Amino acid sequence: SKKVFCIGELLIDFVAENQGADLTKAVHFTKKAGGAPANVACAISKLGGKSAFIGCVGDDPFGTYLLNTLGACYVDLSLVQRSDIFTTLAFVSLAEDGERDFVFSRGADRELTYDSSIKTEFRDQMVHLGAATALLGGPLEKAYGHYLFDAITENAFISFDPNYRADLWKENENTFIKKCTPYIEKSHLCKFSLEEARMLSGKSGLEEASNALHKMGTAIVAITMGSEGTWISTKNTQRTIPSIPVTPVDTTGAGDAFIGCLLEQISELSSPSELLENDELLVKMVGVANKAGAITTTGYGAIDSLPEKDQLNSLP
């Protein structure tokens, strides 16, 4: 199978234990490994696929904890960088009104520097760009652009998930849209939430939004809609693949499990470009990826609740 290189953020989420308190009042926090592209790398490896993570953590105990967590999922960590700058930390709490209270201490993840010697490893493999913090400037943003270019020249299958975080972009939606455009243009597969698809296409309906996103460049659009299923769109097919009914306890990481599971299946094809001509195969794979998303919502945390292959197969 092909290796999937997942590039971007890896950070600690400190999640307040007692819900209903904003961060000024929260007392106890639980340490969790976070970062969308890192979750995707874990999802792929836990399913038996090959993944490598490219990102930067601090040379401190939190960085070591993060790498241990990814290592326990069998993610290849040989391309990870460590920095004197402290590991990136996020603190999150649900306030009384149900609003998310969030602060972010940006650290080492921003410091990933471009390494031109990696390029040849991308040859005919797969590259997943799960942006989130990656487009917020610094060395990481520069490295992102270079790795996108390398993935193109090395004939890699490219997937992109913008992972928009309103907390981080605030009034800069237009900058975010502008920065995402080249990634949508060059990716084979893009995964969006409905909010992201609307923002990035400027259209509100699923069909219109997908058509606009195809026009920007991407051949496959997947829009995940929680319990409402996943909308997929290619040049020949537009349809919703229903979700698997479950009783969710924590939806964190469902989107990462979904795209990880989809990429893992694609990595088993002899040529991922097969998928671009075979909508039936795509529909089947998205059905399986929906199972991975659903299972992830039934357990706490993002990485801990990612399924293994047996669990996927045990669902009808």
Q: Which residues bind ligand ATP (CB under 6 A)?
A: 193, 224-227, 230, 243-244, 246, 248, 251-256, 258, 290, 293-294, 297
Q: Shortest gap between Cβ of 295 and ligand ATP (angstroms)?
A: 9
Q: Round to whole Å and give the CA distance between 164 and 178.
A: 13
Q: Shortest gap between Cβ of 115 and ligand ATP (angstroms)?
A: 28
Q: Residue 191 in contact with residue 282, Cβ under 8 Å?
A: no
Quickly list H helices, 3-54.
36-46
Q: Round to whole Å and give the CA distance between 226 and 228.
A: 5
Phi, psi of 180 (to 5 degrees): -80, -25
Q: For residue 116, with 0-12 CB atoms within 10 Å meaning exposed, 13-18 middle and 19 or more buried, which class applies?
A: exposed
Question: Which residue, 255 or 272, has its beta carbon nearer to ligand ATP?
Answer: 255
Q: Shortest gap between Cβ of 18 and ligand ATP (angstroms)?
A: 21
Q: Shortest gap between Cβ of 57 and ligand ATP (angstroms)?
A: 21
Question: Which residue, 16 or 118, has its beta carbon nearer to ligand ATP?
Answer: 16
Question: Which residue, 152 or 244, has its beta carbon nearer to ligand ATP?
Answer: 244
Q: Residue 90 in contact with residue 29, Cβ under 8 Å?
A: no
Q: Shortest gap between Cβ of 34 and ligand ATP (angstroms)?
A: 11
Question: Which residue, 69 or 252, has its beta carbon nearer to ligand ATP?
Answer: 252
Q: Round to whole Å and give the CA distance between 240 and 207.
A: 11
Instruction: Output the CA angle 279-188-133, nearest 5 degrees.
Output: 130
Q: Shortest gap between Cβ of 183 and ligand ATP (angstroms)?
A: 16
Helix (H, G, I), strand (E, B) or coil at 170: coil
Question: Which residue, 23 or 194, has its beta carbon nearer to ligand ATP?
Answer: 194
Beta carbons within 8 Å of 209's beta carbon, 6+ residues apart = 197, 198, 201, 203, 223
Question: Which residue, 124 or 205, has its beta carbon nearer to ligand ATP?
Answer: 205
Q: Round to whole Å and give the CA distance between 211 and 237.
A: 11
Residues β-bridged to residue 92: 15, 102
Closest of 178, 192, 189 to residue 151, by C-alpha: 189
Question: Which residue, 55 or 253, has its beta carbon nearer to ligand ATP?
Answer: 253
Q: Shortest gap between Cβ of 185 and ligand ATP (angstroms)?
A: 21
CB neighbours of residue 175 within 10 Å: 12
Question: Which residue, 158 or 292, has its beta carbon nearer to ligand ATP?
Answer: 292
Q: Shortest gap between Cβ of 296 and ligand ATP (angstroms)?
A: 7
